[in-house]
A and B are shown apart, each in its own frame.
Chain A
Amino acid sequence: MIFLTVGTQFPFDRLVKAVDAAAETGRICDEIYAQIGDSAYRPLNFEYIKYLEKRSFDDYVEKASRIISHAGIGTITMAMDNNKPILVMPRLKRYGEVVNDHQVAIARRFEQMGYIFAVYGTDRFQQRIEEFLSFVPRPRGNNAEVVIGRINKFLSEISI
């Protein structure tokens, strides 16, 4: 099952529509389930819900083989924590999907690190989604180690 989530703050019709088209044309054969938030577009090719409770949301993330999402940091880290390959499409300000274009920078950074698969618009979405279906994220070590080390050192210095 592929879990599509677009967050809950603003609509994100572009992504819901693009995934619906991919399902329509058979580019995605897997079952899809979606949390569409306030999006006005209603997908025709898979089941969806406006909002999921936190617990059910977690369940869907866990059950999903892959995740498709906006480039929200919460969903990205959740996918990474659960070792799920994730495709993100950043929301853009010019479409009224978000208040600024920070999601583009987030997507680029995580994409560079090899942890996520990013698509920056709907024009190449249909080709890219096929690539995504074989995308394997780069395995991660504990990135926080250096920060942890410095905090730990600071704490032990002041606790003397």
Chain B
Amino acid sequence: MQRRMKVCLAASGGGHLSQMLKLIDSWQGYETFYITTAEIVKEQLQKLGKVYVVGECNRCSLLRTVKVLLCCMKIIFMERPDVVISTGAAAGCISCFLGKLTGAKVIWVDSITNIERLSVSGRMVRFIADLFFVQWPELTAKYRGVQFAGTVI
């Protein structure tokens, strides 16, 4: 029997995660697991599937970023997702790159808070993403390879 496709859903707690959950109908029927950053949302997510909490990080803190990177490495190499979908931020970006390394397809939805330019994470992921959404139509004129298909909230 053919293995069901496995989808990794990576989003930091808060606004990133709430935008991710708006897309929940996209991956019905596939095997999924979540990577998020805050224990506080774990309980809510557990109702939806397997959840890994990797802790917060951003580009200002190297040590924490390394910690999250190692954590995500362990998860991605173990789970071997076929697709990584992320709405940001840093931990989502890391998951996308690790996913790409292991052969996964990458889907990125840049947060609605990025109005005049892409998020820092988005600007990096753009080069490896197979599908890249922005939520402000103006951004499609500024960046190649990104698409606008409406807002998700």
Q: Which of A107-122 contact B (CB under 8 A)?
A: 109
Among residues of A, the one whose C-beta sits closest to the C-beta of B19 is A77
The answer to whether A159 and B30 touch (CB under 8 A), given A74-B14, A102-B115, is yes
Residue of A nearest to B41 (CB): A54
How distant is the Cα of A145 from the Cα of B23 in the complex, in angstroms? 8
A80 at the interface (CB under 8 A from B): yes
A155 and B115 contacting across the interface, CB-CB below 8 Å: no
How many angstroms between the C-alpha atoms of A117 and B19 in the bound complex?
21
Q: Which residues of A contact B85 (CB under 8 A)?
A: 151
Residues A73 and B112 in contact, CB atoms below 8 Å apart:
yes
* Residue A148 interfacial (CB < 8 Å): yes
B18 touches A74 (CB 8 A): yes
Q: Is A133 an interface residue (CB 8 A)?
A: no
The residue among A78, A80, A105 with the most chain B CB atoms within 10 A of its own CB is A105
- Across the two chains, which residue of chain B brings its CB closest to A145? B150
B58-95 CB contacts (< 8 Å) to partner A: 82-83, 85
A106 to B83 Cα, complex, angstroms: 30
On whether A80 and B150 interact (CB within 8 A), knowing A144-B22, A148-B23, A155-B7, the answer reads no
Task: Encode contact with B along A140-160: 1 for CB under 8 Å, 0 otherwise.
Answer: 000111111111101100110
Which range contains the number of B residues in contact with the other chain? 20 to 34
The reply to whether A144 and B152 contact each other, CB–CB distance below 8 Å, is yes
**Residue contact B25 to A152, C-beta cutoff 8 Å:** yes
Bound together, the chains give a CA A80 to CA B15 distance in angstroms of 13
B143 contacts chain A at the CB level, 8 A cutoff: no
Contact status A106-B152, CB under 8 Å: no
Closest to B113 in A: A73
Contact of B30 among A78, A148, A155 (CB under 8 A): A155
The chain A residue with its CB closest to the CB of B85 is A151
User: Does B140 reach chain A (CB closer than 8 Å)?
Assistant: no
When distances are taken between beta carbons in the complex, the residues of chain A under 8 Å from B113 are 73, 102, 106
Interface pair B116/A105, CB less than 8 Å apart? yes
Known: A73-B113, A74-B18. A143 touches B153 (CB 8 A): yes
**Inter-chain contact B107/A154, CB cutoff 8 Å:** yes
